[in-house]
Copies of this chain bind each other. A is one copy, B any other.
């Protein structure tokens, strides 16, 4: 049975939880928590892909080592592009955009978390598609030819795009359920005790204070302005 290759594309100034959240879930396909029979995903492999093999620094100071570079990465079955302010630089880098475009052409699933949607967009992959991204950037989706779809995760055919940062965890469970079935997804959910209980209910603009929204819009202004050049 051939490997099922899952790959996360990382770049300087990414928001690491966009990547590490779904990585924790999807990497568990490799040790299939099959309840009754061996899973096809015993052959799943998870790759952390970057332009070079040098450590990649997140926007908050986490330094991560890739497992392969663009040249040594196998054809991916699922490509996932995380977000963060570094998306602006990634979009300006032809090699990164080309890698995403070429891999996505043959991948079974093309996916993003948060602002990663704009790297897919820069590679021409969102034209005429329904998509989402971090709430502070949804107004920019038409610049890459996409229509914003409300919701934490947007699916359009083989394209999954998700909202800000932590939405990547929910997205990953959707994908696991599709690939390996709901029982496997639920076993992984139990394994990582994903029974969220945030002490506040303020994680979406529909629930947050005006002051918090204004602050976060201001915080995101530099990246928002840069993406407007798309």
Contact = CB atoms under 8 A, between A and B. Distances in A.
Contacts of A187: 202, 208, 211-212, 215-216
Interface string A178-221: 00001101110111111111111111110111011101100100
A198 B174 CA distance: 8
Interface of A: 15-17, 20-21, 23-24, 27-28, 30, 33, 35-36, 46, 48, 55, 60-65, 67, 114, 134-135, 152, 163-167, 169-170, 173-174, 177, 182-183, 185-187, 189-205, 207-209, 211-213, 215-216, 219
A166 B21 CA distance: 9
Given A24-B60, A167-B195, 13 more contacts: A15-B24, A16-B20, A16-B24, A62-B64, A114-B193, A167-B197, A173-B199, A177-B199, A187-B211, A187-B215, A189-B198, A194-B203, A195-B207
A171 to B, nearest CB: 9
Given A21-B17, A24-B15, A24-B60, A193 B212 contact: no
A218 B135 CA distance: 40
B216 A191 contact: yes
Contacts of A201: 195
Contacts of A28: 60
A43 to B, nearest CB: 15
Nearest to A21: B17
Contacts of A63: 64-65, 67
A61 B170 CA distance: 21
A190 B170 contact: no
Contacts of A35: 211-212, 215
